[in-house]
């Protein structure tokens, strides 16, 4: 074929690509960057980034493996799978390395799992933006089920049973339920009783449980156990995790899945490896090397995660208090770096004074008028008029690594000038917003 000459007119295509919106968490980042470029003073509370520096021991390991350019086994290196198995075994989930599959982040692993399972998926409301979006991308439909009050991340077991029975009666194929322990966006951790009941429904209704435990090591109360469904329904639970949150290595793109033992788990593994082999071949070798080091949990990294847990607890607590003082209802954050205030008690005032009817109106107002970037509850599956929002304060820890390290080392990080300044600014914004907007009383539940 001769090459097209420059004189041939460009011919527009007759079709459009499938519309896939940018993930809301990434979109808010771009909106905040735009405001910054306009010279607006911003409070970046939208993006779920851990906000702490990478530990130097991890960069050292990564550098040591940088020359590894070859593809590796699809499931991941034997060293990494053994280390991840050890990590889970130390958390009360005995794990053989053969059930571990590694991927370039837990997000692609979740996507591959949904492709392998091939049916509709129950996702909690609210829940991390990606579960429902990925379910649609694989050609299935999400089934939304509300979580019990104060127990984000796990669909209410009774409502789960009703929803699945109803969907199946309509002829739908429902294969899985996703849970997040601890939860993004609410920053809470479901109780063992709720998880046990969820597992019992999953067993009765023949569902796979996908348990996203990426925030497991960031429960604020030291020693509080995470009730993994893998303990109560091991034959049907897949657990995923990564280094993205506890070690702030989201950009390194490395994650692991722990599949069930037994015949179902083995066939799921075969299918997952088939999908992985066609999408990512193998996770990046240098990252696998660093991840193996991390999952072996040397004391320097354990201390680093401990310090970050304390930092997240202190700052989310202070942020929750600001929202409560302004009249919002807030469940006290128990894990990770999220606060999920509910402006329902201020609804009438917000509507009368600011024309706010939906969570998106409210977060739009916060961004446009005050430069505060947060995500509306509707991004997490809530009805538009539910006035909840996810606030992620971890980008306030510092502008650079020097400040972030000082925040990690501080016994009272909320008092550091740059964090205290941001908290004061948040307080001012919320006071301004709440002026004449609230009839409610401050309440941190
Ligand atoms: C609940 C949850 N799961 C998974 C991820 C992403 O994980 P990864 O970086 O391993 O792809 C996130 C990141 O925001 C998350 O909040």
Q: What is the dihedral of CA 416, 419, 423, 426, to 10 degrees?
A: 160
- Residue 4 is predicted with a pLDDT of 56
- The two tokens of residue 326 are 């302004």
Does residue 106's CB lie within 6 angstroms of at least one atom of ligand 1? Answer: yes
Which atom of ligand 1 lies closest to the CA of 180? Answer: 1
Task: Write down the CATH number for the domain with range 24-51+301-444.
Answer: 3.90.1150.10
Q: For residue 113, how far is its CA from the centre of ligand 1 (angstroms)?
A: 15
C-beta of residue 261 within 8 angstroms of C-beta of residue 96: yes
DSSP 322-341: HHHHHT-EEPPP-BTT-B--
pTM score of the predicted model: 0.94
Does residue 187's CB lie within 6 angstroms of at least one atom of ligand 1? Answer: no
C-beta of residue 145 within 8 angstroms of C-beta of residue 163: yes
- Residue 2 is predicted with a pLDDT of 54
User: Could you count the other beta carbons within 10 Å of the beta carbon of residue 14?
Assistant: 5
- Residue 440 is predicted with a pLDDT of 43
* Sequence spans of domains, the chain: 24-51+301-444, 58-297
> Counting Cβ atoms within 10 Å, is residue 192 exposed (0-12), middle (13-18) or buried (19+)?
middle
Does residue 212's CB lie within 6 angstroms of at least one atom of ligand 1? Answer: yes
Q: Which residue has a Cα nearest atom 6 of ligand 1? A: 107
What does the alpha-carbon distance between residue 415 and residue 417 come to, in Å, rounded to a whole number? 6
C-beta of residue 137 within 8 angstroms of C-beta of residue 243: no
Does residue 107's CB lie within 6 angstroms of at least one atom of ligand 1? Answer: yes
Return the CATH number of 58-297, one of 3.10.310.10, 3.40.640.10, 3.30.70.3280, 1.10.1740.10.
Answer: 3.40.640.10
Does residue 256's CB lie within 6 angstroms of at least one atom of ligand 1? Answer: no
- Residue 442 is predicted with a pLDDT of 40
What does the alpha-carbon distance between residue 198 and residue 156 come to, in Å, rounded to a whole number? 7
- The two tokens of residue 333 are 């954050």
C-beta of residue 13 within 8 angstroms of C-beta of residue 361: no
Residue among 26, 147, 245 to mutate when testing ligand 1 (max atoms within 8 A of CB): 245
| Contacts of residue 70, Cβ cutoff 8 Å, sequence gap at least 6 | 285
C-beta of residue 418 within 8 angstroms of C-beta of residue 398: yes
Residue among 215, 242, 252, 291 to mutate when testing ligand 1 (max atoms within 8 A of CB): 242
| Below-50 pLDDT ranges, the chain | 438-445
Q: Which residue has a Cα nearest atom 13 of ligand 1? A: 48
Does residue 287's CB lie within 6 angstroms of at least one atom of ligand 1? Answer: no
Q: Strands (DSSP E) along 201-274, which ranges?
A: 208-212, 237-242, 255-258
- Residue 8 is predicted with a pLDDT of 85
- Residue 443 is predicted with a pLDDT of 41
What is the DSSP pairing of strand 120-125 with strand 100-103? unpaired
C-beta of residue 366 within 8 angstroms of C-beta of residue 355: no
| Closest CA relative to residue 59, chosen from 242, 286, 244 | 286
Does residue 128's CB lie within 6 angstroms of at least one atom of ligand 1? Answer: yes
Element (H, E) at 199: helix 192-204
- In angstroms, how far is CA 114 from the centroid of its own chain? 17
Radius of gyration of the chain (CA): 23
User: Could you count the other beta carbons within 10 Å of the beta carbon of residue 171?
Assistant: 6
- C-alpha distances (whole Å) from 233 to each of 159, 214, 229, 296 are 19, 19, 6, 26
Does residue 242's CB lie within 6 angstroms of at least one atom of ligand 1? Answer: yes
C-beta of residue 394 within 8 angstroms of C-beta of residue 315: yes
Element (H, E) at 103: strand 100-103
């Amino acid at each position: 074929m001769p090459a097209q000459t420059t004189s041939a007119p460009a011919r527009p295509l007759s079709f459009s690509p499938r519309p896939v919106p940018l993930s809301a968490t990434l979109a808010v980042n771009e909106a905040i960057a735009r405001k910054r470029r306009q010279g607006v003073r911003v409070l970046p509370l939208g993006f779920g980034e851990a906000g702490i520096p990478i530990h130097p021991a991890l960069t050292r390991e990564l550098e040591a493996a940088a020359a590894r350019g070859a593809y590796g086994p699809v499931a991941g290196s034997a060293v990494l799978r053994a280390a991840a198995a050890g990590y889970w075994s130390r958390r009360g989930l005995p794990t053989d390395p053969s059930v571990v599959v590694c991927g370039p982040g837990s997000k692609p692993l979740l996507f591959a799992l949904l492709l392998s399972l091939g049916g509709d998926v129950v996702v909690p409301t609210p829940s991390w933006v990606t579960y429902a979006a990925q379910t649609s991308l694989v050609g299935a439909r999400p089934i939304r089920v509300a979580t019990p009050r104060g127990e984000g991340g796990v669909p209410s077991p009774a409502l789960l049973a009703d929803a699945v029975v109803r969907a199946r009666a309509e002829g739908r194929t429902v294969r899985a339920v996703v849970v997040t322990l601890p939860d993004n966006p609410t920053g809470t951790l479901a109780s063992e009783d709720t998880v046990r009941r969820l597992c019992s429904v999953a067993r009765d209704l023949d569902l796979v449980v996908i348990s996203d435990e990426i925030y497991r090591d960031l429960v604020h109360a030291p020693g509080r156990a995470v009730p993994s469904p893998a303990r109560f329904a091991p034959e049907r639970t897949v657990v995923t995790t990564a280094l993205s949150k506890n070690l702030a290595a989201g950009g390194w793109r490395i994650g692991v899945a722990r599949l069930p033992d037994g015949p179902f788990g083995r066939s799921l593994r075969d299918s997952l490896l088939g999908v992985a082999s066609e999408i990512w071949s193998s996770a990046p070798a240098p990252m696998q090397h660093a991840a193996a080091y991390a999952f072996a949990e040397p004391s320097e990294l354990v201390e680093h995660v401990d310090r970050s847990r304390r930092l997240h607890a202190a700052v989310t607590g202070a942020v929750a208090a600001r929202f409560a003082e302004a009249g919002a209802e807030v469940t006290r954050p128990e894990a990770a770096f999220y606060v999920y205030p509910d402006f329902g008690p201020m609804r009438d005032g917000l509507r009368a004074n600011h024309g706010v009817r939906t969570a998106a109106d409210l977060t739009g107002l916060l961004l446009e008028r005050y430069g505060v970037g947060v995500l509306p509850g509707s991004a997490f599956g809530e009805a538009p008029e539910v006035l909840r929002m996810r606030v992620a304060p971890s980008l306030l820890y510092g502008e650079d690594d020097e400040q972030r390290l000082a925040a990690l080392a501080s016994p009272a990080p909320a008092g550091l000038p740059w964090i205290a300044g941001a908290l004061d600014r948040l307080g001012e914004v919320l006071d301004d917003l709440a002026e004449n907007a609230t009839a409610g009383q401050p309440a941190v539940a």
